[in-house]
Amino acid sequence: MESLAAGLAIGLAALGVSFSLAIVYFKTLDSVTRQPDLLGSFRVLMFIGFAFIEAIALYALVISFMILSSHAG
């Protein structure tokens, strides 16, 4: 049962992260097409957003490892 919880934790987080990254990328692309002179600013903000979104996946990975290791013994 713990392995199912760990798998769901990382699986749902990966699903949410993939949708979030796609939304941020396409919104940035939309913003650049509207104001191409601000490409540098949008790029920096996009990568900062990517870093925060990817942190969610790393937290879920840590949580799934904690779930698996708490019931290993």
* Long-range Cβ contacts of 2-6 (<8 Å, 24+ apart): 2/67, 2/68, 2/70, 2/71, 3/68, 5/64, 5/67, 6/64, 6/65, 6/67, 6/68
pLDDT confidence of residue 72: 61
With respect to residue 56, please indicate whether it lies within any of the assigned structural domains: yes
The 10s digit of each residue's pLDDT in 17-62 is 999 999 999 999 999 999 999 999 999 999 999 999 999 999 999 9
Position 1 in a domain: no
Which structural domain range is residue 66 located in? 14-70
pLDDT of the residue at 21: 95
Q: Is residue 22 part of a domain?
A: yes
Q: Report the predicted TM-score, pTM, of the whole model to 2 decimal places.
A: 0.81
- Average pLDDT rounded to a whole number, residues 9-23: 94
The upper half-sphere exposure of residue 69, i.e. CA atoms within 13 Å in the direction of its Cβ, equals 6
Give the number of domains in the chain: 1
Is 9 a domain residue?
no
Q: In 10 A of CB 19, how many CB atoms? A: 11
**Residue carrying the six token digits 């879920």:** 60
